[in-house]
Structure 1
Amino acid sequence: MTTRRIFFATLLATSFAGLAALMALTLSPGGYTPLDLFILACFLVTLPWTIIGFWNAVIGLFVMRFSRNPVTAVCPIDHGDAARPLTSSTALLSCVRNEDAESLETNLSSMVTRLVRAGQAGHFTLYVLSDTDMDDIALQEQQMAARLQERFAGKMEVIYRRRSNNKGFKAGNVEDFCDRWGDQHDFALVLDADSYMSADAITGLVRRMEINPKIGILQSLVVGLPTDSAFARVFQFGMRLGMRSYTIGSAWWQGDCGPYWGHNAILRIQPFKDHCRLPELPGKGPLSGTILSHDQVEAVLMRRAGYEVRVLPLETGSYEANPPHLLEFIRRDLRWCQGNLQYRRLVGMPGLKPVSRAQLVLAILMFLGSPAWIGFMTGAAVLGMVTDYMPYRADTGAAVFFTVLTMVFAPKLATVADVLARKDLRKAFGGPLRVLVSVGAEILYAAMLAPIMAVAHTLFMGGLIFGKTIGWGAQARGVQRLPVPLALQKLWPQTLFGLAGLAWLSGQDIALVWPVVPVAIGPLLAGLIAVATSTRTLGNIAIRSTLWRIPEETAPPEELLDLHLPALAKGPAAVSGEPDLVQGDAKPAEA
């Protein structure tokens, strides 16, 4: 593993130095002014995540194509015997806050029912851990829990607990469970309100924990549920493609210092209790107090204690629901942004593994890259307007642009290459033509969405300086049309950014600047995009188009039928005799 990490660090350093030198050469005409140096500095801040994503994708593609068993190649742990009875006790932790009790009951009831049918329910206890601060919703939760207790009496114990003091948010919720009931169980499977896992996925994680006592956290690979939200449908298709190559590539070099995403993961309770309590950050302001992005901190603390943290890159049986509209997507990202920036106080914690320390730094850079990108784009535009000579070298500038563009989309392109090379995956994603059309549209969508998010991150980080905070409120679930005034009120800064970009583009030679047109068009149309992609009408059109199809729509797993998802009722699997763009002759890939 050390050799792999040295190799990856060498790739990262070499790529960083090469791109830095290429950008410096691009800015060399006329010498280096303070504005040139500012542009170069901003560019360098954006590079680490771009380069890491690229090399993760390249390594992931090689593993997927040339390894006999890609999962074992990057997660070399004993997977256990599926026929062997479980011997441990596992708590299923459903962590909720002001959620829709009906949807929650559907998910939990299906998961428990599946475990009962598998004959494994006796090894599990379901805990509904509520941080709800609205009495009417709390009453619905209590009634839901009572129904579950009655339905599964004698088969699985169901416990409901509502905290009156929400200290620590979700991390505090789990910590409270550990203090009250942790000694009664070996493991805890952490679930968000929108999480759903099959019985095979759940028992598979438990068996791996039973047979590998040095694993402290085992994270499953979470994929999006079939959705009738147009916004989420396109987004999670891109995530689905990018995630597999990226996760396999990162697991190849991170190994036992892997990620924890805070849900759909199993924890070894005793070391989690002993070593993963989060510190309270001293001081005042939004970056002090409770740590919002708790998961990565808990992962590095578990690794510091000598236990492994691993990700199991199997696309099977582990699901979540993605934000249904753009405003909720931004709000979730801003919470992560505030939480990740808190890591600056934790990077120097004693005893952390080098990879763990690097992960905290990279988590910070992930969001610092947004204002750096805004600064880079703005600085480059201003430089061209204030000089009476050509301030860039066209040849090296084009090389930088297309190299970075390739790196940005490499994770998606790598997985697409693997999908097109395999008959089962081609069929599962709807055929090669449908895959290519969907990918092209999603890349354009992502290119328009990226500057919208960058503006949101930048403004929010500016607000943190003046004490602005995001907190931990209830999350929006399900398709709901955004009011036009609300969208315009929230996204007017993006619109102004788009107008400024369009004004700049209008004075340029379109033959030279056409690749950056989405950078202006996306923010300019942010309000329209937000409203349109939140409507049920566009969601239905997206489903009926069969573009951005995921394998669970081609051949829905049996467990998903329990959820009565609108996307499956309206999707290709529900349409008898629907002609494919390209017919396949292989069985669908296992999702």
Structure 2
Amino acid sequence: MSSAAVFPDRSAHVSPSAMTRRRIVFAVLVGASLAGLALLMFASMHRGGILPVEGVLLALFLVTLPWLVIGFWNAVIGLALMRLSRNPAVAVNPLLADEDALAPIARSTAILVCLRNEEVEGVARSVETMLEGLLQEGVCRHFHLYLLSDSSWDEIIGAEERLAASLQARWGADIAVTYRRRSDNHAFKAGNIRDFCERWGAAHDFALVLDADSYMDAPAILRLVRLMQRHERLGIVQSLVVGLPTMSAFARIFQFGMRLGMRSYTLGSAWWQGDCGPYWGHNALIRLEPFIAACHLPELSGSGPLSGPVLSHDQVEAVLMRRAGYEVRVLPLEGGSFEQNPPDLIEFIRRDLRWCHGNMQYLKLLGMKGIRPVSRMQLVLAILMFAGSPAWVAFMMLSAGLVIFQDNAVLNFDPVLGGALFASIMGMVFAPKLATVLDILATPERRRAFGGTARILAGVVAEIVFSMLLAPVMALAHTVFIARLALGRGGTWSAQRRGLHAVPYASAVRRLWPQTLFGAAGVAWFASFATPVLIPALPVFLGPLVSIPLARWTASLSWGRAALASGLWRIPEEAAPNPDLCKLGLPALPALEPGAALAEAPVAAE
């Protein structure tokens, strides 16, 4: 059987019956995997009989599995598409089969740059470069730039006003520029965009939503616009967003891992999600008429941190757009769509906890009427993405207690079956990254772009070690935060620090003392009461134990410079920088130009 027969490239929409079959196949794969892992866990504990407390352990284990298993099968399907399909992107998004790269731009698009107390200099460079690209394409008259500010700091407001005046003076003859600042940032970014819709939405056909750290080049923007012009039932099209070149050691490691896992994961998820695809809230094009009519977010009833405005608005807006009969699709292709990742562990945790807060609000939205089954499942998975963390922490703490309070607890656990379970879990954890690595190594052009086989393999090993250290740190952060939510205490949605900076000891200790305490207690516990289990349990506790120096080290500018100079965790944009990216003033890129010294890179002092 040919590869085309396995994953055919279609020029028309995948039929509803074919999508149903895909979803049934995916559900069977996921269900069988969940059942198999549960049975393996049960068999591992069964040697001494299953006690009630072990039943609780099994239940907690099951809560942690869905996100993991779905990620694994997304990766497997994505790898199969990458290796067996002539055009993987068309196989999962058939709208791409008949796209016309030369079609004239005929619709009006609003470019929405959403700001809240952001460093204006970086925003200015991104916007200027984007507008210059649109001017070169000769399409400026079809676009209107909106700077939508929710800023509250006087110095930032002044800088935004100066930026708006500068943009209007330079570009006003070619593209309209509007600056608006809300004095009340109710509903945060979602409210910011809703305010735009009520004021100016009727004047435009589409809206390109960008965050302050977003950058899209003109070809990437025009591709989305042409796709939406051609397909009138396309409500949201989400580009595949990758990290900008960076000198931050933390961001380099993180986005290298994301780059490895993203393509296989996105292709696999798009294969079964189809027209119920993702919306990540930025670097995406939305059709304004149905968005304005059907995607107005509700105010969540009640009191406490899960009430009020919907914070993680993007997935809910995608669900509502699909309920209105419009498609939500991802463009699973790298190129031209970028974001800036958090430069250190502390900022990464802050961003993740904002998402956690918003996703936990979905508990109040699961009963929405009229939404598609796939959409409802996406909300459930968004909740489990964070709810699995306290289940994992409870599992580990209960296991540690069982070692002491239950006689022969270690002896009653079957080491052979337990080893098979551990190997299965680890394989599923790293499957998305390993799938893309296999594809990169099998493709000479991509292999060279990532620095060659030796650098790729060294980067992968180092990134896997880093991920194993990071995962329990993040799980504990989620657990503490969800406990605060349960007690009626929410978080604050403050501005993100995006520039390179050192992490002081005081900040690291203040943020990471729970992780450090957990790691130290875990190592001491197992060393005292179950020494044979300490080595296999060490990966769980080592990351939290060293979280404070890890935060300091990965924010160190000297380590970032060393990683950049060595080519470790290199991404293709560093190997052959796009001229537009070089205009963004990124600290990583000038150092790659001939004759440029690493020490001359414009970064903040450590």
TM-score, normalisation: structure 2: 0.93
Match of residue 51 from structure 1: 69
Q: Does 1:187 align with 2:191?
A: no
Match of residue 116 from structure 1: 135
| Gapped regions of structure 1 (runs ≥ 5) | 579-591
Which amino acid is the alignment partner of residue 150 of structure 1? A
Question: Once the two structures are superposed, what CA deviation does each residue of 1:365-396 show, in whole Å capped at 9, x if it has no partner?
Answer: 11011011111122222222223221311111
Q: Does 1:282 align with 2:301?
A: yes
Match of residue 388 from structure 2: 369
Match of residue 13 from structure 1: 31
- Once residues 336 and 61 of structure 1 are traced to their aligned partners in structure 2, the CA distance between those partners, rounded to angstroms, is 28
Question: Once the two structures are superposed, what CA deviation does each residue of 1:66-86 show, in whole Å capped at 9, x if it has no partner?
Answer: 100011011110452222210
**Pick aligned residue for 1:42 from 60, 67, 77:** 60
**Pick aligned residue for 1:25 from 39, 43, 51:** 43
- Once residues 521 and 314 of structure 1 are traced to their aligned partners in structure 2, the CA distance between those partners, rounded to angstroms, is 36
Contact 1:444 1:518 in 2 (8 A): no
- Once residues 262 and 343 of structure 1 are traced to their aligned partners in structure 2, the CA distance between those partners, rounded to angstroms, is 16
- Once residues 564 and 515 of structure 1 are traced to their aligned partners in structure 2, the CA distance between those partners, rounded to angstroms, is 45
Question: 4+ runs of 1 displaced by more than 6 Å?
Answer: 508-511
Q: Does 1:461 align with 2:479?
A: no
Structure 1 position 511, deviation (Å): 7.1
Contact 1:82 1:204 in 2 (8 A): yes
Contact 1:16 1:48 in 2 (8 A): yes
Match of residue 315 from structure 1: 334
- Once residues 531 and 95 of structure 2 are traced to their aligned partners in structure 1, the CA distance between those partners, rounded to angstroms, is 54
Structure 1 position 424, deviation (Å): 0.6
Match of residue 543 from structure 2: 522
Question: Once the two structures are superposed, what CA deviation does each residue of 1:511-562 show, in whole Å capped at 9, x if it has no partner?
Answer: 7653442321111111111112112111111111211000000111122111
Which amino acid is the alignment partner of residue 364 of structure 2? R
Which amino acid is the alignment partner of residue 427 of structure 2? T
- Secondary structure of the residue aligned to 2:94 is coil
Match of residue 585 from structure 1: none
- Once residues 74 and 532 of structure 2 are traced to their aligned partners in structure 1, the CA distance between those partners, rounded to angstroms, is 33
Q: Does 1:558 align with 2:576?
A: no
**Pick aligned residue for 2:92 from 71, 74, 86:** 74
Aligned length: 577
Q: 1:100-249 maps to which residues of 2 (within 5 A)?
A: 100-249=119-268
- Once residues 290 and 336 of structure 2 are traced to their aligned partners in structure 1, the CA distance between those partners, rounded to angstroms, is 27
Aligned residues: percent identity? 57
Which amino acid is the alignment partner of residue 53 of structure 2? L
- Once residues 574 and 311 of structure 1 are traced to their aligned partners in structure 2, the CA distance between those partners, rounded to angstroms, is 37
- Secondary structure of the residue aligned to 2:281 is coil
Structure 1 position 574, deviation (Å): 4.5
Which amino acid is the alignment partner of residue 216 of structure 1? G
Structure 1 position 255, deviation (Å): 0.3
**Pick aligned residue for 2:434 from 383, 396, 413:** 413
**Pick aligned residue for 2:424 from 389, 403, 409:** 403
TM-score, normalisation: structure 1: 0.96
Question: Once the two structures are superposed, what CA deviation does each residue of 1:312-360 show, in whole Å capped at 9, x if it has no partner?
Answer: 0110000000011111111111111111010011111010100000000
Q: In angstroms, what is the RMSD of aligned CA positions?
A: 1.5
Structure 1 position 575, deviation (Å): 6.8
Structure 1 position 178, deviation (Å): 0.6
264-273 vs 134-143, greater mean Cα deviation: 134-143
Contact 1:25 1:396 in 2 (8 A): yes
- Secondary structure of the residue aligned to 2:286 is strand
Q: 1:62-101 maps to which residues of 2 (within 5 A)?
A: 62-78=80-96, 80-101=99-120
Question: Once the two structures are superposed, what CA deviation does each residue of 1:422-457 show, in whole Å capped at 9, x if it has no partner?
Answer: 001110000011101100000000000001001111
Q: Does 1:380 align with 2:399?
A: yes
Contact 1:94 1:127 in 2 (8 A): yes
Match of residue 513 from structure 2: 492
Which amino acid is the alignment partner of residue 486 of structure 1? S
Which amino acid is the alignment partner of residue 5 of structure 1? R
Q: Does 1:333 align with 2:314?
A: no
Q: Does 1:483 align with 2:501?
A: no
Structure 1 position 411, deviation (Å): 0.2
Structure 1 position 38, deviation (Å): 1.5
560-569 vs 158-167, greater mean Cα deviation: 560-569
- Once residues 57 and 275 of structure 1 are traced to their aligned partners in structure 2, the CA distance between those partners, rounded to angstroms, is 33
Which amino acid is the alignment partner of residue 491 of structure 1? L
- Once residues 527 and 512 of structure 1 are traced to their aligned partners in structure 2, the CA distance between those partners, rounded to angstroms, is 25
Contact 1:384 1:391 in 2 (8 A): no
- Once residues 595 and 59 of structure 2 are traced to their aligned partners in structure 1, the CA distance between those partners, rounded to angstroms, is 53
- Once residues 40 and 352 of structure 1 are traced to their aligned partners in structure 2, the CA distance between those partners, rounded to angstroms, is 32
- Once residues 276 and 574 of structure 1 are traced to their aligned partners in structure 2, the CA distance between those partners, rounded to angstroms, is 49
Match of residue 431 from structure 1: 452
Contact 1:114 1:199 in 2 (8 A): yes
Closer, same or farther: CA 10–140 of 1 in aligned 2, 3 Å: same
- Once residues 397 and 45 of structure 2 are traced to their aligned partners in structure 1, the CA distance between those partners, rounded to angstroms, is 15
Closer, same or farther: CA 398–158 of 1 in aligned 2, 3 Å: same
- Once residues 377 and 408 of structure 1 are traced to their aligned partners in structure 2, the CA distance between those partners, rounded to angstroms, is 18
Which amino acid is the alignment partner of residue 172 of structure 2? A
Contact 1:16 1:47 in 2 (8 A): yes
Match of residue 355 from structure 1: 374
Structure 1 position 137, deviation (Å): 0.8
- Once residues 516 and 428 of structure 1 are traced to their aligned partners in structure 2, the CA distance between those partners, rounded to angstroms, is 37
